[in-house]
Amino acid sequence: MNMNRNQSYHRGRIAVVCLLSCLLMLGLTGRLIFLMIFRSQHYSQMAEDLHQRERTIKAARGRILDRNGTVIATNRTVCTISVIHNQITDRDQVVKVLSETLGLAEEEVRKKVEKYSAREIVAVNVDKELGDKIRAFRLGGVKVDEDYKRYYPYGSLASKVLGFTGGDNQGIIGLEVMYEEWLKGANGLILTQADAAGVEIENAFEDRVEPAPGADLTISLDVNIQTYAQQAALKVMEEKEAKRVSVIVMNPQNGEVLAMVNVPEFDLNDPFTLNVEPEEGSGPSRQDLLNQMWRNPSINDTYEPGSTFKVITAAAGLEAGVVKLEDTFACPGFRIVEDRKIRCHKVGGHGGETFLQGVMNSCNPVFIDVGQRLGAERYYDYFTQFGLLGKTGIDLPGEASTIMHKKENIGLVELATISFGQSFQITPLQLITTASSIINGGNRVTPHFGIQAVSADKTRVHRFSYPVKQGIVSEDTSKTMRYVLEKVVSEGSGKKAYLPGYRIGGKTATSEKLPRSLKKYISSFMGFAPADDPQVIALITIDEPVGIYYGGTIAAPVIADLFDNILPYLGIEAEEEETVSAFRFYG
């Protein structure tokens, strides 16, 4: 009986073991099937990764060309030096050669050489000559890959417009970042075979995925006009010991920006070197100073425009029909608005004058009266109609918006100060764009640089387009404004912008910066030509000039000098004096 019980027990154990073995085999078989069928791609990729070394081939960034095809941003061949730990045969020699050739500390290089990684980058943007020198040593485990570094042939020209790229050749500021998607291209790859220890197999098959170069970008900027404008701006900045000077030159008919100068500019090929000495002690940080150096005041900063804004007030008044050129005004040298005495720039006043004469004299009381006739609500509606309250939509990053009182907060005093360009702020670009739209027949243009992008193989061309809003003022109002602003230059406060043989229109301004107690000013002049058919408009702002600071005295002559150079260049020829003087608004 005991024997039978033992036999049954043993048979039961054997059955359990067999069952467990079967289950184990079934599980292993299932796992094997799962790995072979469902995970095969994953493990094949892991095996491939183990035996492959991958290096990036950088794509050539697209060039930037001016409107005439002059290259203003291109590439230079440089090298990336890297080490592959498992392939290094003589660490000491590698450390010695790389540190001496690249001018790096031995400790820094040794740390990278001894780091166990698939690939460690030692240096980027190395001159090709040095890269070739390192390649000639034929050091095991040292890779020299050719790369591209951005190069700007004109140095500091249009630096705050073009912008620059970082160590990865990616745009950081300006047009370089705005058109990144067009310029950057697509990187390629080099795939090489390695053994189980990670050592590259000599003479093994190498797989290459060729890079796709970026597209070339053609912009509206003209190198020659930019150069003229930059020279003129530097000259007046030095003469007047000004903080900075900005100049914008634009085609008022279509919004193409021909030049945008903001001196002092910086060296695009060395953008991380400050162009000013940092203050000792607790001054701004180095990064703050760099950000300030890279900043584009023409679009990033706002200011009180002063009397150049009278162009907008005059256009609104004429369009609304609340004023005519022959309407008469009295200027005793001030206006009393509520409890405020607001002075004219001419202490003794201009006496009796027509509206036309008031514009020519840049008389504050006249414009205060026009503002009061319009009223806050209607005046504000014209700001909206003119496109003044938003952004211009320029193809540059960081554009600032107009800082204006809310409509419900505009009382009689605010209405008075706004009418002659105080108590609110706009960008220089917004001012010149709105003025362009008023003098070009009433079309609100979008200021821009981008014209077209062309693929590297020239097979694809993309032309950029920009919105235009028609009818912001009538053609009659636009024609009247052209006439009035020509009179400002020929006989009024802008006489220093006059050029023999040319019809120049324009408006001067001298605005006091905040706080008023500092007695610091921005002098400006906005001019266009020819006055009867504007093809070019320019605005100069001189920030904190020393000594004489009136816009009509120091800013207007700069635009005259600029026009003297660029009008013939643009094919706008001078006329006989008799023809010019014979121009009549109603004729």
Active site residues: 307
Is residue 305 reached through a cis peptide bond, with omega within 30 degrees of 0 on the bond before it?
no
Question: What is 245-260 written as a DSSP string?
Answer: EEEEEE-TTT-BEEEE
CB contact set of 110 (below 8 Å; sequence gap of 6+): 91, 95
Q: Are 543 and 247 a contacting pair, CB within 8 Å? A: no
The gap from C-alpha 146 to its chain's centroid, in whole angstroms, comes to: 29
What's the start-to-end Cα distance of the chain, in Å? 138
Q: Are 571 and 266 a contacting pair, CB within 8 Å? A: no
Residue 218, burial from CB neighbour count under 10 angstroms (0-12, 13-18, 19+):
buried
Per-residue b or e along 500-528, where b marks 16 or more CB atoms closer than 10 Å to that residue's CB: eebbbbbbbbbbbeeeeeeebbbbbbbbb
Q: How far apart are CA 541 and CA 159, in angstroms?
A: 18
| Structure tokens belonging to residue 280 | 């000792």
| Structure tokens belonging to residue 365 | 């009381």
| Structure tokens belonging to residue 349 | 């006043």
| Structure tokens belonging to residue 333 | 């040298």
- Comparing C-alpha atoms, which of 325, 365, 360, 318 is closest to residue 345? 365
Bridge-based pairing of strands 64-65 and 216-219 is parallel
